């Protein structure tokens, strides 16, 4: 949202840790994110994990062999796809 409409009342909503705003009398203008829990905001914007969750996943994989195996395969796949994409 670049500029707010002067004199138009806003409604604020919190859903799943994300705070949204939208105009009360302008349903054609979709709601937009104005804040909230960083991890929840990242997920609402389409990211799978925020950085803290990624770090937690990596730490947990050191203690869980199944997770470590899957994560290793994921990292290998990432590098293969990245290398092919960078050509």
Portion of the chain with pLDDT greater than 90, in percent: 82
Q: How confident is the model at residue 86 (pLDDT cuts 50, 70, 90)?
A: confident
Say whether pLDDT at 1 is over 60.
no
| For range 70-84, the mean pLDDT | 94
**Number of structural domains in the chain:** 2
Whether 34 and 5 map to the same domain: the answer is: yes
Same-domain check for residues 2 and 44: yes
Residues 32 and 60 in one domain: no
Reported as type and span, the H/E element at residue 22 is strand 18-23
50 vs 40, more confident: 40
- Do residues 57 and 43 share a domain? no
Give the DSSP H or E segment for 15: strand 10-15
Strand partners of residue 23: 10
Please give the residue range of the domain that contains residue 57: 50-87
* Count of beta carbons in the 10 Å neighbourhood of residue 47: 13
């Amino acid at each position: 949202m670049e500029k707010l409409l002067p004199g138009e009342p806003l409604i604020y909503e919190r859903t799943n840790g994300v705070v949204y705003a939208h105009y009360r009398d302008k349903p054609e203008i979709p709601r937009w994110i104005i804040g909230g829990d960083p991890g929840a905001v990242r997920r609402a914007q389409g990211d799978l994990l925020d950085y803290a969750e990624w770090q937690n996943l990596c730490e947990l994989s050191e203690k869980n062999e199944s997770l470590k195996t899957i994560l290793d395969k994921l990292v290998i796949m990432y590098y293969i796809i990245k290398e092919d994409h960078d050509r």
